[in-house]
Chain A
Amino acid sequence: MVGGPSARVREWVRGMTVVEECAVRTVDLGKTYGDAPAVVGLDLAVPRGVTFGFLGPNGAGKTTTISMLCTLLRPTAGRAFVGGCDVVAEPHAVRERIGLVFQETTLDLDLTAREALRFHAELFGVPWRESRRTVAAMLDLVGLTACRDRPVREFSGGMRRRLEIARGLLTAPQVLFLDEPTTGLDPQTRTVIWEHLHRLREERGITLFLTTHHLEEAEHCDRLAIIDDGQVEVEGSPAELKAEVARDTVLLRTRDDADAVRLVRERFGLEASAGPDGVRLSVADGAAFVPKFCAEAGIPVLSATVTPPSLDDVFLHHTGRTIRTERSGPLTVDDVGRRR
């Protein structure tokens, strides 16, 4: 062990500062159900004020992680800090600093929107009188002021989700956790929800920590961690991750696709495949490849499309399969209570 104790001290000091600066910090965090590891050796450092996405297929360990960070599950290994507080040693301090939006709706259908929020505020220690203002402001923020006195039962899926986000924000949390925030919502609603989330971050400087298996949703994040089989495969901004894959997809439509495939293989040494929509191939710099191909190919090229790498490509690159491949064991935060 080089350096011995001094190296440990340096490590310790670094750990300290990172804990204080980070909205979420985990060190070697792990959770095992019986013999089955759900999360293994998770090291995360989420700076304050960013939107952090946890991208992975169902059963990858996203929900287990979020449950541990929200003090609903006790980790079996490592440490985790949220807002500088230890999730095991001071769960109540952590709970005061976070908001949580579950994947499944957890609203009281009999209550009105305003009652739901006021009960929640009081449960978190906001006095009844003071909560009046906060609740009104939150309803305004998510655009539900007009239907504040209607029972939640009558709300659409998007309205319920917005109300839950408002509820998550009521106690002015430092970190808002969202488990699959727009799963099961239609595209328009999804856009509206994201508009609200972006505004929140701009106006309040709140840290958003979300899990998702939607690639479109992951694009909204400042930073992404791709998780698979309980381990983080790679971490970075969506642009960085895509740059790392560094291969564009080129789609060519030519007069003779079979000839084009042969040409690509012989002249450029690349693998291409002919499909009903044309010739598809993967190349490092697609924009430069297309003119070169047109110049060298003796056959007329009708159209060329260059697609930069998507997050699905990134996922494929790191895990060897696409995220859309369904895996067994769909698990949400809502299942945690049943999995003891």
Chain B
Amino acid sequence: MSAVAALPHRAGARCGRPARELRAVRVLWHREMVRLLRTKVQIVMGLVTPVMFLLVMGTGLESMGTTAGDSFEQFRSFLFPGVLVMATQAPALAVGLSVVMDRQSGMLRQAMVAPVHRVSLLLGLSLGGATCGAVYGGLVLAISGTVGIAYHPLLLVALLEVAVIALLFTAGGMLAAVTIQRIQTFQVLMGLALMPLMFLSGAMFSPSGLPRWLGVVVHLNPLTYAVDAVRRTLPGELDMGGYAGPPQIAGWTPPVVLEVCFVTVLAALMLVVAARRFARRG
């Protein structure tokens, strides 16, 4: 054992190479982009569900509501922000899923032997996922005219918000991916978590009609603020004539900027936690 202790450590491990780390982030982002462009069928399929919600369910409910009463006229434009957020979730979470799979048998296993920090790998993947989500969101934004939302420069602001929301989804997916080792568990968890999160966010209907205890959940749900930020940013009145107003915390309405900041900070926090778990070496 004395010989072991006596063997010298080489002085100064090489560290701090920001250029290399940045390059690693870019490589992983680039790879996601290549994959995105190569799976055009997947893009179309990913857009089918949100478009169905918007044009089929939205139109159906709208006409039903219009027959029954008079305040249901703008249901599709009310639904639009929710559908926009919904469209970003699938590609963003797909990245999380790819992490679970890749770590076992994919490129990520190989990347872990690269002389870069694991945080850079995670960051590259997350940005890639967020960009994919934003692309989907952008495609949905392109059809905003069909539900009576004008093509206005504000749509670009909304696109930025959508990108941040996509990052939130990716960060959530990443956090789950580095915590969960089994693919099946990951898929089940995502399936279980997403539906209630969407329902309790005001994306599909105004949560004001929900019982009080569910209202608490609505206020804790980050998607509430995400959806609301997009809804208030998009041009025109999307609150169904004041019926579906923004969330209020003790009578106070958070400004849009604050809502976006909240989503950003939350995404960043989740990424940090995920990165810490991911960086741990066995």
Whether the Cβ atoms of A123 and B106 lie closer than 8 Å is no
In the complex, whether B31 has a CB less than 8 A from a CB of chain A is yes
Whether the Cβ atoms of A72 and B10 lie closer than 8 Å is no
In the complex, whether B7 has a CB less than 8 A from a CB of chain A is yes
Residue of A nearest to B120 (CB): A123
Whether the Cβ atoms of A86 and B9 lie closer than 8 Å is yes
In the complex, chain B residues whose CB is within 8 Å of the CB of A336: 282
Which residues of A from 151 to 185 have beta carbons under 8 Å from B?
Answer: 151, 167
A8-B2, A78-B4, A86-B9 in contact; A334/B109 too (CB < 8 A)?
Answer: yes
Residue in A15, A70, A71, A98 whose beta carbon sits within 8 Å of that of B3 in the complex: A15
Contact with A along B174-208 (1 / 0, CB 8 A): 00000001000000000000000000000000000
Bound CA span A291–B154, Å: 99
In the complex, chain A residues whose CB is within 8 Å of the CB of B116: 92, 123
In the complex, chain A residues whose CB is within 8 Å of the CB of B20: 125
In the complex, whether B107 has a CB less than 8 A from a CB of chain A is yes
In the complex, chain A residues whose CB is within 8 Å of the CB of B23: 122-123, 125
Whether the Cβ atoms of A85 and B105 lie closer than 8 Å is no
A110-B38, A125-B115 in contact; A334/B105 too (CB < 8 A)?
Answer: yes
Bound CA span A266–B52, Å: 90
A74-B281, A119-B27, A120-B110 in contact; A79/B115 too (CB < 8 A)?
Answer: no
Whether the Cβ atoms of A108 and B31 lie closer than 8 Å is yes
In the complex, chain A residues whose CB is within 8 Å of the CB of B104: 334, 337-338
Contact with A along B110-135 (1 / 0, CB 8 A): 11111110000000000000000000
Bound CA span A334–B14, Å: 27
Whether the Cβ atoms of A93 and B10 lie closer than 8 Å is yes
Whether the Cβ atoms of B34 and A8 lie closer than 8 Å is no
In the complex, chain A residues whose CB is within 8 Å of the CB of B280: 340
Whether the Cβ atoms of A86 and B6 lie closer than 8 Å is no
Contact with B along A94-137 (1 / 0, CB 8 A): 01101010101111101100011001101111000000000000
Residue in A15, A95, A122 whose beta carbon sits within 8 Å of that of B113 in the complex: A95
Whether the Cβ atoms of A106 and B4 lie closer than 8 Å is no
Residue of B nearest to A19 (CB): B7
Whether the Cβ atoms of A102 and B109 lie closer than 8 Å is yes
Whether the Cβ atoms of B13 and A110 lie closer than 8 Å is no
Contact with B along A298-340 (1 / 0, CB 8 A): 0000000000000000000000000000000000001011111
Say which size band chain B's interface belongs to.
35 or more
In the complex, whether B249 has a CB less than 8 A from a CB of chain A is no
In the complex, whether B47 has a CB less than 8 A from a CB of chain A is no
In the complex, whether B216 has a CB less than 8 A from a CB of chain A is no
In the complex, whether A27 has a CB less than 8 A from a CB of chain B is yes
In the complex, whether A268 has a CB less than 8 A from a CB of chain B is no
In the complex, chain B residues whose CB is within 8 Å of the CB of A110: 34-35, 38-39
Residue of B nearest to A8 (CB): B2
In the complex, chain A residues whose CB is within 8 Å of the CB of B24: 123
In the complex, whether B68 has a CB less than 8 A from a CB of chain A is no
Whether the Cβ atoms of B113 and A90 lie closer than 8 Å is no
In the complex, chain A residues whose CB is within 8 Å of the CB of B13: 89-93
Contact with A along B14-31 (1 / 0, CB 8 A): 110100100110111011
In the complex, chain B residues whose CB is within 8 Å of the CB of A258: none
Whether the Cβ atoms of B27 and A338 lie closer than 8 Å is no
In the complex, whether A28 has a CB less than 8 A from a CB of chain B is yes
Q: A72-B281, A92-B116, A125-B20 are in contact. List 20 more A-B contacts (CB 8 A).
A: A8-B3, A11-B2, A15-B3, A28-B1, A72-B112, A73-B282, A79-B7, A95-B114, A102-B110, A108-B106, A110-B38, A111-B34, A122-B27, A123-B24, A334-B109, A337-B109, A337-B282, A338-B181, A339-B282, A340-B282
Q: List 9 A-B contacts (CB under 8 A).
A: A8-B6, A12-B7, A28-B1, A72-B282, A106-B110, A110-B38, A111-B34, A115-B34, A119-B30
Name A's B-contacting residues (CB within 8 A): 8, 11-12, 15-16, 19, 27-28, 70-74, 78-79, 81, 84-86, 89-93, 95-96, 98, 100, 102, 104-108, 110-111, 115-116, 119-120, 122-125, 151, 167, 334, 336-340
